[in-house]
Structure 1
Amino acid sequence: MKRLAAIDIGSNSVRLMVVAVERGGGYRLLDEEKAQVRLGEGLVQSGALSDAAQERALEALARMLEIARSLEADTVRAVATAAVRTASNGPAFVARVRETLGLDVEVVSEIEEGRLAFTGAAASFDLPGRTAVIDIGGGSVEIVRAADGQIESITSLPLGAVVLTDRIGTADPPAREDLRAVRRHVRESLRGAFGEDPEPVTVMIGSGGTATSLAAVVAAAAGDDYASVHGRELSLSDVVHVYAQLKSLTLEQRRAVPGVPDYRADIIVAGALVVREAMAVLRCNRFLVNTRGIREGLVLETIARATGRRKGADPSAAIVRFGKRCRFDQRHAEHVNELALSLFDSMADESLTADDRRLLETAAMLHDVGYFVGYEKHHRHSCHLLTYADLPGHSPRDMAVVAAVARYHRGGLPKARHEEFARLSPTDRDTVSKLGGILRLADGFDRGRVGRVRSVTLERRDDRVTVTADGDADLHVELYGAREKADLLEKAFGVRVRISGA
């Protein structure tokens, strides 16, 4: 691959980025193009993409493919987000694009959309401490929270600028009561996702047209050039003041505000409201603008795939690198992993495979990475970090299983109301319960975290299992820890477990 064209089909706009691929996984920007097609227009009311919106999108895509061809792009990758993802006729639209233009469009999930936004942000900004990346589209808002560059959570909410503009209504300027109702809806949605007292973030990095337009308005008011606002910093006060200004103006008056693009004047109030509320709920005072967003993440991910940089990576080395970034206790992790694999080899039944053993190894090595986020409920933090970890050799399904196994190394047993467990297939739930039971017991055998248990042997007779630990010192603490954590293995395998020392 020498030249790549990346196309982001959003609810409000379609954007193209054409790059020349360079050695080492970098790129050189050749051209960019965008078109405001309002693909998500009327979607809230009808649940479907309108014929007119589809025609606008097809016309824009045809033009962008021409640009890509003129720049000799040998690879074209297109993704669609919220509008196509949620529309009842989204699959039909994707098929129509393929038949009409010969372009295959990937409809990405909310998690993948957030991951791409984060990848794009991480390429341009340092992400120290607790940060958030927010991508404000037309149909949805993705908010990615991270700790020192490691994704902790990805949240997608139907709070896009086009969707909320439809909720605000047609009064011009917007009616106060309508704005109050929408603001209440946005804040309740954010609090429902993040709780009443979420961890504050030090900086929020915003992408999408709303972010760039807000920055342009602030720059213009300060007498600065607003042709390029990449990296511009806004305070919460800046956002509050711009929102207060714009919400009181008519559509025509907003179009006359320096920095507000004509095509965004009708939805900028809703977009500004989302940024204001997100910063308030997450107690953030700094907002940095990323003008590239998802499409840069798409470019970087595609280059990584095509150049084989990820394919050639050593999965085991990548696991250790991830653990070190999360400051894990490598000695404890390796010891628990050794014990867990020994238990697996003795305990596994016909339902467990060699691939399940590989996933157990990943979960065992990384089960404690949640300490990186906080001591309390660290098993849940481990689950979140691993859900969004991008490890070579591990598919999204693999990581969902690994995350759930790590989540159950301590704390409560799997329950249908646990989101990370409920979203798995029935087969994967059984696998998680069994692997989680093995990991839980192995972790119990290193209760003191000093590796006193050298080895374990397991004997299984019908529904009775005896696990014998061998070590150099007094194993009282370790045996107690194992007995306390044998519950999930007993439940998952339908056995009674006896723990003893050699």
Structure 2
Amino acid sequence: MRLGVLDIGSNTGHLLVVDAHRGAAPLPAYSYKEPLRLAEHLDAAGAVTQAGIDALAAFTAQAQRVAEDKGCEDMLAFATSAVRDAVNSDAVLAEVAERTGLAIPVLSGEDEARLTFLAVRRWSGWSAGRLWVFDIGGGSLEIAGGADEEPEVAWSLPLGAARLARQHLGAAPVDEDALRSLRKQIRADIARDAGRLLRHGAADHAAATSKTFRSLARICGAAPSGDGPLVPRAMPLVAVSEWIPKLAAMTHDELAALPGVSASRAHQILPGALVAEAAMEIFELEALEICPWALREGVILERLDQITIGS
């Protein structure tokens, strides 16, 4: 069947059209996305602004037209942390539904981590053994781990790259005091619940997903996306640590010129690197493998499993 997967993230609205059926990997057929940057369309009270709502409604309406044009039988829509954490979340989604006719459910942080874990497990296979998965989004960091397809632990932290950039960092370059303060906060937040993952035993395999991790891996020397998803990619801790002071000293234009970094996300790469470094050091990981599958694939896979069970 042909499915449309509508992902309303903290940075980007993304419609992925896929051909999917039981026993096969979801095959991307078309991609349509816009940089909504909802994590930055928040007022002082934490509400999504009217400009943010208008952008979301316009993108959703266009995504529906694209999905229809591409022959999608169904639409799997979801929103993540930017909408989830907004104080006017219900009102935002109600207005979008009224204007577009599409009800967009909100994934909990735990479900976001769980579905991402499912995608990475299916990609990595059972030979990966006990698996740990990390995902840095625009609004949150998801962590999950386990030996099966359902993680033993899965949780979310408000440590997304866009959120941290907006709340804690000014214009690039970043001064040393701001860098040290943010580094301290990130590590305290991750370490607070680290035992949830560690008490189940060390990982046999540790993986990372998301645009932030892919960009960081590219900066650290991983193969470009044009080489295809089957090329192994990894991000060593030592390389991330070496890059952090360099990133802090760069201007916005210099950051945007780095391989794998777009101008719209350039301001997020430093806080993303701080989160990645902290997670790897706290969980004693020398490197993370970059997995091309993430939350969208997890949503698709769970839907296919449900159809199979229902039949």
Provide the TM-score with structure 1 as the length reference.
0.57
Q: Name the CA shift for 1:176/1:35 in 2 (closer, same or farther; >3 Å).
A: same
Q: Name the CA shift for 1:138/1:50 in 2 (closer, same or farther; >3 Å).
A: same
After TM superposition, the structure 1 = structure 2 runs for residues 121-136 of structure 1, keeping only pairs within 5 Å, are: 121-126=120-125, 128-136=128-136
Q: Name the CA shift for 1:292/1:97 in 2 (closer, same or farther; >3 Å).
A: farther
Q: Report how far residue 276 of structure 1 moved.
A: 0.8
When Rg is computed on C-alpha atoms for both structures, the one with the higher figure is 1
1:107 paired with 2:109, answer no
Report the equivalent of 1:81.
Answer: 80
Report the equivalent of 2:234.
Answer: 233
- Asked if the contact 1:25/1:304 (under 8 Å) is kept, the reply is no
Report the equivalent of 2:154.
Answer: 154
Report the equivalent of 2:91.
Answer: 92
Q: Name the CA shift for 1:106/1:131 in 2 (closer, same or farther; >3 Å).
A: same
Report the equivalent of 1:278.
Answer: 279
Report the equivalent of 2:213.
Answer: 211
Q: Report how far residue 202 of structure 1 moved.
A: 4.2
Q: Name the CA shift for 1:228/1:111 in 2 (closer, same or farther; >3 Å).
A: farther
Q: Report how far residue 69 of structure 1 moved.
A: 1.1
Q: Which digits, 9 at most, give the CA deviation of each residue in 1:84-121, with x for residues without a partner?
A: 11111111111112111111211111121111111111
- Asked if the contact 2:153/2:196 (under 8 Å) is kept, the reply is no
Amino acid at match of 1:212: R
Q: Report how far residue 197 of structure 1 moved.
A: 10
Counterpart Cα distance in 1 of 2:196 and 2:298: 31
Counterpart Cα distance in 2 of 1:169 and 1:272: 13
Provide the TM-score with structure 2 as the length reference.
0.90
1:4 paired with 2:6, answer no
After TM superposition, the structure 1 = structure 2 runs for residues 371-390 of structure 1, keeping only pairs within 5 Å, are: none
Report the equivalent of 1:300.
Answer: 301
Higher RCO, Cα 8 Å, sep 6+: 2
After TM superposition, the structure 1 = structure 2 runs for residues 12-411 of structure 1, keeping only pairs within 5 Å, are: 12-24=11-23, 26-41=25-40, 43=42, 45-126=44-125, 128-147=128-147, 151-195=151-195, 198=198, 199-219=201-221, 224-228=223-227, 230=229, 231-305=232-306, 307=307, 309-311=308-310
3-state SS, counterpart of residue 105 of structure 2: strand
Counterpart Cα distance in 2 of 1:244 and 1:64: 40
Counterpart Cα distance in 2 of 1:126 and 1:33: 29
Q: Which digits, 9 at most, give the CA deviation of each residue in 1:23-58, with x for residues without a partner?
A: 546533211233221111154843111222222222
- Asked if the contact 1:212/1:229 (under 8 Å) is kept, the reply is no
Q: Name the CA shift for 1:229/1:216 in 2 (closer, same or farther; >3 Å).
A: farther
Q: Which digits, 9 at most, give the CA deviation of each residue in 1:349-403, with x for residues without a partner?
A: xxxxxxxxxxxxxxxxxxxxxxxxxxxxxxxxxxxxxxxxxxxxxxxxxxxxxxx
- Asked if the contact 2:26/2:297 (under 8 Å) is kept, the reply is no
Counterpart Cα distance in 1 of 2:143 and 2:228: 21
Counterpart Cα distance in 1 of 2:259 and 2:27: 31
Counterpart Cα distance in 1 of 2:3 and 2:47: 31
Structure 1 stretch displaced more, 168-177 or 157-166: 168-177
- Asked if the contact 2:21/2:304 (under 8 Å) is kept, the reply is no
Amino acid at match of 1:183: R
Counterpart Cα distance in 2 of 1:225 and 1:27: 22
Counterpart Cα distance in 2 of 1:119 and 1:250: 38
Counterpart Cα distance in 1 of 2:271 and 2:44: 17
Counterpart Cα distance in 1 of 2:96 and 2:259: 36
Counterpart Cα distance in 2 of 1:21 and 1:5: 10
Counterpart Cα distance in 2 of 1:123 and 1:97: 33
Counterpart Cα distance in 2 of 1:24 and 1:256: 41
Unaligned 5+ residue runs, structure 1? 313-502
Equivalent pairs counted in the alignment come to: 306
Amino acid at match of 2:58: E
Q: Name the CA shift for 1:103/1:150 in 2 (closer, same or farther; >3 Å).
A: closer
Counterpart Cα distance in 2 of 1:32 and 1:159: 27
Counterpart Cα distance in 2 of 1:236 and 1:92: 42
- Asked if the contact 2:136/2:210 (under 8 Å) is kept, the reply is yes
- Asked if the contact 1:5/1:75 (under 8 Å) is kept, the reply is yes
Q: Which digits, 9 at most, give the CA deviation of each residue in 1:276-295, with x for residues without a partner?
A: 11111111112121233110
Counterpart Cα distance in 1 of 2:150 and 2:196: 23
Q: Which digits, 9 at most, give the CA deviation of each residue in 1:280-329, with x for residues without a partner?
A: 11111121212331101111112222x3x2235xxxxxxxxxxxxxxxxx
Percent identity of equivalent pairs: 32
